[in-house]
Structures are given as structure tokens and as C-alpha cells.
Amino acid sequence: MATVPESVARLLEVALVGDLTVVDATGRPITYPLIPLWDGEKVYLTSSTLFSRKLEHIKGDPRVSLSITDPVATGGRLDRATIQGDARIIDADPHGGWERLLPIWEKKEPSIVLFLKARVALPLFFERALIELTPRRVLYWSDGNAASVPAVTVVGEEAA
């Protein structure tokens, strides 16, 4: 069941990069560019343990947002969206647990499969956690222009 408006789901499907923002212990927002992986219901992102500060921040405060704003990363689309939601870290098996999302990742970054085959060269990069984002509120700018008031969708509790 889709939990975000159709237009936002399409953005998530094509976006090569989105900006994940987490909140640190001091309440400061910290933004990380990551590949959004959309499975039709939830948004997933994945982070190497090498760059795991974001994971620590999420464990401290699960409230996050994901923005899709760059037309270069969305094949020229001008619409933009910000998804606010609750994140959960899935790191029971950092070695291979994240690989279930490899097919979606590969669609956006085909070279990742080649790199994975040579994981001996960069072993820690492939020790990874998944970030599962359950959308709560979606802001959507159909023209991508901040001068326009965004369409706001509050995602129902049943979607969680």
C-alpha cells in the first residue's frame, strides 16, 4: 500500500540522490546525501558503518526528513518533495542484512554489484545498516518553487 502521494512515489523511484536530514543530540539538523530506495511502501536508505554518525543520531532521535530536490538527480523533473517520518535502524546483520535491497539499489547505481564482488578491496564499506523511513507527513511542490505553498499530505496511522 502506497503511503505517499503518487507523484512523490514517482520522484522516489527515479531519484539517484536525496538529502536525508537527521537531528543530533543538540537538536541541530544534519543533512546527508544518500540514494533513496523505495519499495512501494517505505523508503529505505543504507549507510556504511564507515559513515555511521547518522545512524547514531537516528538511534538518539528517530525523527528525520528526506528531500528530493535536485533535477539533475531526478532526470530533469522539476517537482520537489520533502518527506518527514520516523526512521528505524536495521543493523542486525551489517555484513549481509542490507543486501535484500540490492536489486533496488542496483537499478540506480549498477556499478554497486561490481564493487560488491570486490568487497575484499573495501570490506568496511559493505558493512552496512538499513535506514527504514516510515513517512508521516509529505510536502510537495509541483513546480519545485518555494514561492508556492507546498501541498501537505499527512500519512495515516494505518500506514505505519
Partner 1 sequence: MRSTPELDARAGLDKLATYPFAVLTWVDDAGYPLSVAIEPTFESDRPAASFTAPAGLPVPTDREISLSGSHIRPQPGYGYDERRHVTVWGRASVVGERVTMTGGRAWGWDEAEVPFFEYSERSTGQSRKYFDALSRERGTPVKPRLSLGFLALRTTRLPFLTATIVPVVLGIAIAASHGSFDLATALLTVVGASLAQLAINVSNDVFDTAQGADDVNVTPTQFSGGSRVIQYGLVTFRQMATLGMALYLAAAVVGLALLAMRGSIELLVIGVVGFVVGLGYTAPPLKFVYRGLGEIAVAIGFGPLMLLGAYVVQTQGALRWEPFVASMPVALLVALILYVNEIPDRRADARAGKRTLPVRFSPATVVTGYRVAAATAYVVVALGVIAGILPMPTLLILLSIPLALRVSRGLLPNYDNPYGLMAVMGVNIKLHVVAGVTLIMAYAIVMLAAVLTPGVDLFLG
Please give the angle made by the CA atoms of 44, 49 and 55, to the nearest 5 degrees: 55
Q: Among 1, 25, 149, 157, which residue interacts with partner 1 (rule: CB under 8 A)?
A: 149
3 state DSSP class of 47: strand
Q: Does 153 bind partner 1 (CB under 8 A)?
A: no
Please give the angle made by the CA atoms of 42, 72 and 152, to the nearest 5 degrees: 45
Query: 59 to each of 64, 87, 127, how far by Cα in Å?
Result: 11, 9, 18
For residue 136, the 8-state DSSP code is E
Q: Do β-strands 151-154 and 43-48 pair in parallel, antiparallel, or remain unpaired?
A: unpaired
Q: Which of 77, 73, 57 is nearest to 65 (CA)?
A: 57
Q: Does 84 bind partner 1 (CB under 8 A)?
A: yes
| Interacting positions 95-134 with partner 1 (CB under 8 A) | 95, 108-112, 119-125, 127
Q: Among 10, 13, 91, 104, which residue interacts with partner 1 (rule: CB under 8 A)?
A: 91
Task: Please report how close the Cβ of residue 151 comes to partner 1 at its closest, in angstroms.
Answer: 10
Contact region with partner 1 (CB under 8 A), list: 1-9, 36-44, 62-70: 62-70
Q: Which residues bind partner 1 (CB under 8 A)?
A: 16-17, 19, 21-23, 27-33, 48-53, 55-56, 61, 63-65, 67, 69-70, 72-73, 75, 80, 82, 84-85, 91, 94-95, 108-112, 119-125, 127, 136-137, 139, 141, 144, 146-150
